[in-house]
Copies of this chain bind each other. A is one copy, B any other.
Amino acid sequence: MASEFDLIRRHFIRPTHHSVLGVGDDCAIVAPRAGFELLVSTDMLVAGTHFFADTDPEGLGWKTAAVNISDIAAMGGEPRWITLALSLPAADEAWIAALAKGFADCCDAFGVDWIGGDTTRGPLNLCATVFGEAPAGAAIRRSGAQPGDEIWISGQPGLAALGLQSLLGRIVLADAAREACLTALHRPQPRVGLGLALRGIASAMLDVSDGLAGDLGHVLESSAVGALLEEDLLPLNALRAAGADAEQARHALFSGGDDYELVFAAPADKRTDVLVLAAALAIPLTRIGHIVSEPGIALATVGGTREPISARGYDHFPG
């Protein structure tokens, strides 16, 4: 069996493109650009909690990088550098090689230098920390939403949740849809280009990791506002077409996580800008409601009633 240092050398040392010093010393060294702020986020993925222990390691590597990079996208930042610490029950080299490949492929796809990490023995756990840059003051926070702003969501949230339900045998999906749902679950695409393009347009933004209701709730709480969503604007059709019934589709949209789409608020007079952006980037951007001053999330139904939507997303330690 190869030693820890051999394993690191063989699989975890990749060429860097915009770093001063990569793997191999006490610290990596990078040179942040003058006039930019540094955005930092860390995410830990645990076997049995976030993924099945027997999950495909290459997909797991991709996803570990992707969910971190998504946090940079969610603030309109440019992802630049990432570290990966991992704890492994055994040094299975083929598994490690596949994990490293998936992680590096995602980094390469988004121009991120993999600059360091840590490898140790223990229950399977992956912790990445990602660093992005944005011009000083330009990062899009959660706290800027104003009453009257329109609420938008990118792509097709809910697919990853349907993929998970399908793996758990709780739903039968159409064959064509099943692949799209599993791809959404295993190979999420952080919306980096969209996040960058929304600087100057979005007033508040985050990525949907724990379900639209809970994550939108974080924006609302940070901004001290509420939301009125319109049932007939919600992107439920594709979820129904995939094989979900009305309840499953709504649950996947509001409470399913793991799509890493961006939800954002933008002033109503920016609607054309948003639609132009959607066309230019070929990413669906769906207006689903608007910000109101009353706290909480309400849904204006097609029947003309208003229903409260629970703002609780997925909570690892529910009260």
Please list the residues of chain A having a beta carbon within 8 angstroms of any beta carbon in chain B.
Answer: 1-7, 20-21, 24-32, 34, 37-44, 46-50, 71-72, 74-75, 77, 81, 83-87, 91, 115-123, 125, 127, 129, 131-132, 134, 136, 139, 141-143, 206-207, 222, 315-319
Contact = CB atoms under 8 A, between A and B. Distances in A.
Contact of A40 (B4, B50, B74, B81): B81
A72 to B, nearest CB: 6
A319 B2 contact: yes
A134 B27 CA distance: 12
Contact of A127 (B6, B25, B44): B44
Nearest to A47: B122
A99 to B, nearest CB: 14
A31 B37 contact: yes
B75 A44 contact: no
Given A25-B142, A31-B136, A40-B115, 18 more contacts: A1-B318, A2-B319, A3-B315, A4-B315, A21-B139, A25-B75, A26-B207, A27-B41, A29-B37, A29-B40, A30-B40, A38-B38, A40-B81, A40-B116, A40-B129, A44-B125, A46-B125, A119-B316
Give the residue among A1, A24, A38, A142 with the most B Cβ atoms within 10 A.
A38
A185 B113 CA distance: 34
A317 B10 CA distance: 14
Contacts of A37: 20, 29-31
A92 to B, nearest CB: 10
Contacts of A6: 319
Contact of A29 (B29, B34, B39): B39
Contacts of A222: 24-25
Nearest to A123: B123
Give the residue among A83, A123, A318 with the most B Cβ atoms within 10 A.
A123
Nearest to A87: B46
A136 B41 CA distance: 24
A124 to B, nearest CB: 9
B28 A41 contact: yes
Give me the 3 closest cross-chain CB pairs, A-B, nearest first: A46-B122, A127-B127, A27-B39
A71 B27 contact: yes
A117 B206 CA distance: 16
A39 B29 CA distance: 5
A131 B20 contact: no
30 contacts: A1-B317, A3-B317, A3-B318, A4-B318, A6-B319, A7-B317, A24-B142, A24-B222, A26-B41, A26-B74, A26-B142, A27-B41, A27-B72, A31-B38, A31-B136, A40-B81, A40-B115, A40-B129, A41-B116, A43-B85, A44-B125, A46-B123, A49-B87, A49-B122, A83-B129, A85-B129, A119-B316, A123-B123, A125-B125, A125-B127
